[in-house]
Amino acid sequence: MGSSVLSNLPCAKEADAAPKLLIIMVGLPARGKSYIVRKLSRYLNWLQYEARVFNVGERRRAEAHVEQSGEKAEESHLSRGQFSSSAAFFDPTNADLVSARDQIALKTLDELLNWLSRQDSSSIGILDATNSTQERRQILLSHIRRKRGTLNEVLFIETCCFDQDILEHNFQLKLNGPDYRGQDPDEALRDFRQRVVFYEKSYVPLGEVEEQDKIPYLQVIDVGRKINTHLIQGYLSSRVVEYMLNFNLSERQIWIFSGGESIDDSAGRIGRRSDLTENGQRYAASLVRFIHGERERWEKKRQSHRTQNRDSTRFSVDDPTRKQDALHPQRHKNWSCPLDFCIWTSTMPQTTQTALGFCEKLFTKLQMKTLDDLNAGDMAGLTFEEIATSQPAVYTARKQHKLLYRWPGLGGECYVDLISRLRPVILELERRKDHVLLVTHRAVVRVLLSYFLDLRRDDLAEMVIPKNWGFCLKPTPYGIDFSAYSYRPESGTFCLEPGAQNKFFPS
Amino acid sequence: MGSSVLSNLPCAKEADAAPKLLIIMVGLPARGKSYIVRKLSRYLNWLQYEARVFNVGERRRAEAHVEQSGEKAEESHLSRGQFSSSAAFFDPTNADLVSARDQIALKTLDELLNWLSRQDSSSIGILDATNSTQERRQILLSHIRRKRGTLNEVLFIETCCFDQDILEHNFQLKLNGPDYRGQDPDEALRDFRQRVVFYEKSYVPLGEVEEQDKIPYLQVIDVGRKINTHLIQGYLSSRVVEYMLNFNLSERQIWIFSGGESIDDSAGRIGRRSDLTENGQRYAASLVRFIHGERERWEKKRQSHRTQNRDSTRFSVDDPTRKQDALHPQRHKNWSCPLDFCIWTSTMPQTTQTALGFCEKLFTKLQMKTLDDLNAGDMAGLTFEEIATSQPAVYTARKQHKLLYRWPGLGGECYVDLISRLRPVILELERRKDHVLLVTHRAVVRVLLSYFLDLRRDDLAEMVIPKNWGFCLKPTPYGIDFSAYSYRPESGTFCLEPGAQNKFFPS
């Protein structure tokens, strides 16, 4: 990747070498480490860094599986595979087991370090494990100092949770996790609680020792209620902290739509400001109806939740439907009053005209230059056929390097430029607790979706988004709920498209 | 200010009303509160919010002065005016004085609240005082709840300092402050230390009480070594935290230059990519020589500092020159090894060609699309005369509303757009500890300078920067050292221009 292309990501390149970051997670079980790790690596990959997660628990399970299938299972009431998932395996007073667990952690760290040293671009390796004792962290740090020659690249991220409701909810989620799948829920929960008790015995939160050793850290308490940072200085760790500061689990909807058909669209011309056609105006009217309907559905759901919760806000094992909701207390914080609904358009007529029908009293409308179409530079106003004919070199270069090829001419952009431009929009979407409808352009929709759907670099360039489709993203405790809707001009409606993601990549 | 113009500042407008923020500073004396307050309000004003500081100490001194000149001075060995600056005035066991100080604080708060309710745009009032007791903070909060009907707009910012070197340095700075100016230094220092002891007796850092009351806060410890946040959710407070995270006092140089004369420049044409003229190339060669020379001067200074500090790193009252350096321990952290030197250009030929002569081995070069010229849209390539003739309406609108008028056509920008585009650059400049040379365009130089020089809105639009001038900004413990250099084509040198700021605003 040439430096001229990444140039709009300020200081992707720091000093001579591409900077690396080695994130070590810290925290008791069920504190949301893996959730954070997934989200963070998704964001960093979207920013076009290489981020990879190395999970110690997965290695523990994989090794146990190998031993088991190699028929080395111990003489015990549990097979070796089961044993490594049971609470007893985490007994901190059993020196053999502590050492076995250290070995697994070091092997995983080695895998990470090998990967990190192979990367020639900026990259981030994330060690996902509890690392909740001083001893374990010291072992890891000496290993890193030996292998990398420095601790400058290390960033600890600790998640703590003092909110009993969140914790109880996380415990429940664990029962569906790989260690307990298929087991009796009551017994599994008992076993998992025992595992947590073992961890708590030897748990030391980040603090004085790391401060003496001058190791940067980030502490996230109760899903971002409090955030503590120590010695955050590097470019990559600043990006990480900035992202983690904009973090909430409130249930809400993020709608992403293109503007309706413009005059330029109908002629296949790209990149210019252009008014809606009659088709585009019909689409706009349908969108207003559709979003109004969806907003009403949400409001009804909210009101019925409130009524239910007046009777019982506590977790109840007997009622699975209520359980689902009671499980996640953070979500309920957003159910107490109607949510605001923001509409963000670009500054171009094809999107502002599409949003014209939304009433300013009900929706908070905002134009953002940040959401403008990918700037096609000198090619703006041409069709792809015209570009292919009149500028075959440009056409070919663009086709071959869609992600990195900047359209020639004043202001011309490539997809990576667009990512950099949209970073504040993503941070703002992560921060907000109300509904947002973005009405923007297909290139922008593509880049936003690639963030939410965790697409790889090549997928971003190759993805084909059907015309007049819109998308809804709902943050959930386990990730993101994604739905796609296609516009039906004959009825003026938007219809749910199940399995939409498969249609983005026609072979 | 129309919403379409501010549209590129994401969510300048939140919900219906323009959001307000009420920042209450907390911290013992000499913890850098006023420094932070000045810097923060400069940043927020630059982002085109209204931020104003209300300083309780200033009101205390002003009131004492009024009473004194009204000849109500008490029978005491000190005049009333002197008394209100002496340690005795801060005795927490004297209920009368506590109440007198509460009254001054409340009057200042009232002034702030009146100002805040008069503003119809997003705005930030900052109460600059110690507010170091629970009682005082409770008094302020009840007053705010009574007047504003809510505490949702409050953000506490506390500065703590555990680093004795920094503290000692701050104490020394206080002796030149308004309370002690012209007094015997030894006695002043003794008095000030006594004042701090009084404060320490009743000091309660932010924490449990604010967490129970769900009041957002930001704690800055040892100039950003540690940063703790609590319940940061609003748009404005997120901007504040983001800024405070990128904070360092390392001594370094930020150079801001335009590119050399381009072919378009020589014809008065604006906004396009354009190659350097021969004049421009000579300017480029001179710039390389000049920066090399300045970098060497810095390196020599650094080496002589190191030698000096080998002998004595401690503060010495006898030697005023050494004192000056010993005073600020943070600065020394940057003296231990040579600094990196980054060169950031835009992606346009006039700046990349200007930086061509800098050796890649000595300088870390980076092209940033963020530093591209203000996009002139359809007017790119025209002279101002041509615009005046062919598009008189555009010419007049632009002339009248330079700050807010977007050039028509694809990608056209106004100055406020440019501010929003340059925000990440400012944050990155604040974060870095090495030297940076920015080679960019005159509109960009103008916007960057307006940040560093704390220019008001109208000044930004009216400022005239002489052609081929460059600037150097050095962060210092008390603010920013600013120097301007003019290019002398006849000798190929850059000469220091004293009092340059006066020349920016010809009447």
Chain segment A206-252, per-residue pLDDT in tens: 999 999 999 999 999 998 999 999 999 999 999 999 999 998 888 99
pLDDT of residue A308: 73
pLDDT of residue B306: 76
Residue B292: is its pLDDT beyond 80? yes
Which of B155, B243, B366 to probe by mutation at the A interface, max A CB count within 10 Å?
B366
**Where do the H-state alpha helices sit in A92-229?**
95-118, 134-148, 164-174, 185-202, 208-212
C-beta atoms of B245 and A242 within 8 A: yes
CA distances from B442 to B9, B96, B467 (A): 22, 57, 8
pLDDT of residue B440: 98
C-beta atoms of B7 and A342 within 8 A: no
Which pLDDT band, with edges at 50, 70 and 90, does B40 fall under?
A: very high
Per CB-CB distance under 8 Å, the chain A contacts of B11 are 342, 366, 428
Instruction: Return the H-helix or E-strand segment holding A86.
Output: none
A169 is catalytic: no
Q: Which of A265-274, B35-44, B457-466 has the lowest mean pLDDT?
A: B457-466
- Distance, CA of A241 to CA of A222 (rounded, Å): 16
Q: What is the pLDDT of residues B386-423, one digit of tens each?
A: 999 999 999 999 999 989 999 999 999 999 999 999 99
Which amino acid is residue B11, in one-letter code?
C
- Answer for the pair B453, B484: CB distance below 8 angstroms, yes or no: no
Assigned token pair, A29: 């079980």
Structural domain boundaries of chain B?
Answer: 17-245, 254-503
By CB atoms closer than 10 A (0-12, 13-18, 19+), residue B370 is buried
- Distance, CA of B33 to CA of B50 (rounded, Å): 19
ipTM summary value:
0.88
pLDDT of residue A243: 96
Residue among B248, B272, B366 minimizing CB distance to A3: B366
- Distance, CA of B242 to CA of A75 (rounded, Å): 56
Q: Which residue has the higher pLDDT, B25 or A314?
A: B25
Residue among B8, B227, B342 minimizing CB distance to A229: B227
For residue A97, the tally of other CB atoms under 10 A from its CB is 17
- The closest of B414, B411, B406, B270 to A375, measured between CA atoms, is B411
Which of A3, A7, A235, A243 to probe by mutation at the B interface, max B CB count within 10 Å?
A7
pLDDT of residue A291: 98
Residue B131: is its pLDDT beyond 80? yes
- Distance, CA of A125 to CA of A50 (rounded, Å): 8
Assigned token pair, A147: 């292998």
Give Cα B481 to chain centroid, integer Å: 12
Which amino acid is residue B256, in one-letter code?
I
- Distance, CA of A507 to CA of A138 (rounded, Å): 49
Mean pLDDT of B230-254: 93
Q: Which residue has the higher pLDDT, A501 or B16?
A: A501
State whether the Cα torsion A425-A429-A432-A438 is positive or negative. positive
Q: What distance in Å separates residue A30's CA from the closest CA in chain B?
A: 22
Q: What is the pLDDT of residues B371-385, one digit of tens each?
A: 999 999 999 999 999
| A–B CB contacts, 8 A cutoff, strictly below | 131
Kindly report the CATH number that applies to the domain delimited by B17-245: 3.40.50.300
Low-confidence ranges of chain A (pLDDT < 70): 1-17, 65-83, 309-334, 507
pLDDT of residue A370: 95
State whether the Cα torsion B364-B369-B375-B379 is positive or negative. positive
Residue A100 makes CB contacts below 8 A (sequence gap 6+) with none
C-beta atoms of A428 and B10 within 8 A: yes
Residue B319: is its pLDDT beyond 90? no
pLDDT of residue B17: 55
C-beta atoms of A410 and B375 within 8 A: yes
- Distance, CA of A477 to CA of A176 (rounded, Å): 13
Residue among A7, A10, A410 minimizing CB distance to B271: A410
pLDDT of residue B297: 95
Per CB-CB distance under 8 Å, the chain B contacts of A2 are none
Residue B331: is its pLDDT beyond 70? no
DSSP string, A52-75: EEEEHHHHHHHHHHHHHHTT---S
Q: What distance in Å separates residue A115's CA from the closest CA in chain B?
A: 26
Superfamily designation of domain A18-245: P-loop containing nucleotide triphosphate hydrolases (3.40.50.300)
- Distance, CA of B148 to CA of B265 (rounded, Å): 53
pLDDT of residue B120: 82
pLDDT of residue B333: 55
C-beta atoms of B366 and A410 within 8 A: no
- Intrachain domains B17-245 and B254-503 with the same fold: yes
- The closest of A395, A450, A462, A441 to A419, measured between CA atoms, is A450
- Answer for the pair B68, B81: CB distance below 8 angstroms, yes or no: yes
Per CB-CB distance under 8 Å, the chain A contacts of B233 are 248, 431, 433
Mean pLDDT of B312-341: 51
Q: What distance in Å separates residue B211's CA from the closest CA in chain A?
A: 9
**Reported CATH class of domain B254-503:** alpha beta
Assigned token pair, A313: 């806000």
pLDDT of residue B323: 37
Q: Which residues of B279-316 are buried (b: 16+ CB within 10 A; e: fewer)?
A: ebbbbbebbbebbbebbeebeeebeebeebbeeeeebe
Which pLDDT band, with edges at 50, 70 and 90, does B507 fall under?
A: low
The residue in chain A having the minimum alpha-carbon distance to the alpha carbon of residue B361 is A16
C-beta atoms of B7 and A366 within 8 A: yes
C-beta atoms of B7 and A368 within 8 A: yes
Assigned token pair, B238: 């997120």
pLDDT of residue A290: 98
Q: Which residue has the higher pLDDT, B348 or A100?
A: B348
Name the region of B501 (left: φ>0; alpha: ψ -120 to 50; beta: rest): alpha
pLDDT of residue A318: 37
Residue among B15, B230, B410 minimizing CB distance to A375: B410
Residue among B7, B366, B420 minimizing CB distance to A347: B7
A128 is catalytic: yes
Catalytic annotation, pick one of A169, A414, A441, A472:
A441
pLDDT of residue A477: 76
